[in-house]
Amino acid sequence: MYDTFSGGYDAFFAPNLGATRAPNASGSVAIIGEMPLEELADEELARRYRQASDSRESELFVNELFRRNFARVARWCLRFTDDRETAADLSQEILTKAYQNLNSFQGQSKFSTWLFVIARNHCLNAVRANARQATELRADVDEDFLADIPDGRATAYTTLEREASAKLVSELINQGLDETEKVVFTLHYGEDMPLDAITRLLGLENRSGAKAFIVSAKRKLARLVQQHKAREKQAGF
């Protein structure tokens, strides 16, 4: 869904802010057409990076663009791993990927949104790759509630039945769970995200974090499934 990095309209960008001047003596703050480099929007920096006439100029823009996003990427990775060495590795990989694909960023979205797509996909892939961790975390909360959900495979291997079951599950989730439960449930079961990562990512401050929301979501879903089954039975299915 969000795996593309490119877009296509430059109209998004702010109007040209003037000609580029050389950086000042210290090299830490450059003046771009009367506007300090650090006051330029991320998107403007990316545009100027693409249009820079020489490598020194492009370095100036990309350095500022990336440095101002270090903390954002670091925070994201830290919430996924809660281990600063692993988070540092992930952050470095994300920024390397972003740098390699920077020319594909055309300003269709904010730069931070574009960076989010890379960070999101990279961290989720890293979490999924760590199968052992995922198994341990899921074993901690998984019970038999899934067995009660109607399953297309149980009756016949037809796409139609699978779709009908999925639609029903989707309806039950929407009908029975509150917003946080839905988000936690989707991130854990749909994205394979560990519960402690969800807790940190969403800033959940309750004592047992995401686990409490999963437990209540499962309880509610199990009840809704039972009610659904009872209604089907009454209707003579």
Partner 1 sequence: MPNQPTLNSALASKPGCLSLQELERLAADSSQGHPHLTNCPRCQSELAMLKAFESNTPLPDEGAAVAWISSHLERQFEQIKNPGSESHRGQVGSASSTGWLRRLLGAGNIRWLVPVAAIVVVAVTSVVLFRPAKQPELRADAGSGPAVYRSQEVEVITLAGEQPNAPKTLQWKRFVGAANYKVSVMEVDHETLWAAETNDISITIPASTRAKMLPGKPVLWQVIALDSQGRTLAVSQLERFSVARKSPISKSGSFPQ
Contacts (CB under 8 A) with partner 1, residues 185-214 = 185-187, 189-191, 200-203
Residue 74 CA neighbour count, 13 Å, CB half: 9
Can you count the helices (H) and strands (E) in the chain?
A: 11, 3
Residue 183 CB, nearest distance to partner 1 (Å)? 5
Identify which of residues 1 and 25 has a Cβ nearer to partner 1 in the complex.
1
Q: What letter would DSSP give residue 49?
A: H
Kindly report the number of other CB atoms within 10 A of residue 170's CB atom.
Answer: 10
Instruction: State the Cα–Cα distance between residues 92 and 86, nearest whole angstrom.
Output: 10
Binding mask 91-110 for partner 1 (x = CB under 8 A): xx--xx--xx-------xxx
Instruction: State the Cα–Cα distance between residues 49 and 38, nearest whole angstrom.
Output: 14
Q: What letter would DSSP give residue 11?
A: G
Q: What letter would DSSP give residue 87?
A: H
Residue 51 CB, nearest distance to partner 1 (Å)? 18
Binding mask 135-154 for partner 1 (x = CB under 8 A): -------x---xx-xxxxxx
What residue type is assigned to position 13 of the chain?
F
Instruction: State the Cα–Cα distance between residues 50 and 105, nearest whole angstrom.
Output: 9
- Residue 215 lies near partner 1 (rule: CB under 8 A): no
Restricting to residues 25-54, name those near partner 1 by CB under 8 A: none
Identify which of residues 16 and 92 has a Cβ nearer to partner 1 in the complex.
92
Q: What letter would DSSP give residue 23?
A: E
Residue 197 CB, nearest distance to partner 1 (Å)? 11
Residue 19 CB, nearest distance to partner 1 (Å)? 25
Kindly report the CA angle at 105 between 107 and 49, in degrees rounded to 5? Answer: 90
Residue 193 CA neighbour count, 13 Å, CB half: 28
- Residue 72 lies near partner 1 (rule: CB under 8 A): yes
Residue 195 CB, nearest distance to partner 1 (Å)? 14
- Residue 112 lies near partner 1 (rule: CB under 8 A): yes
Q: Which of 56, 167, 219, 229 binds partner 1 (CB under 8 A)?
A: 167
- Residue 174 lies near partner 1 (rule: CB under 8 A): yes
Residue 117 CB, nearest distance to partner 1 (Å)? 7
Identify which of residues 32 and 111 has a Cβ nearer to partner 1 in the complex.
111
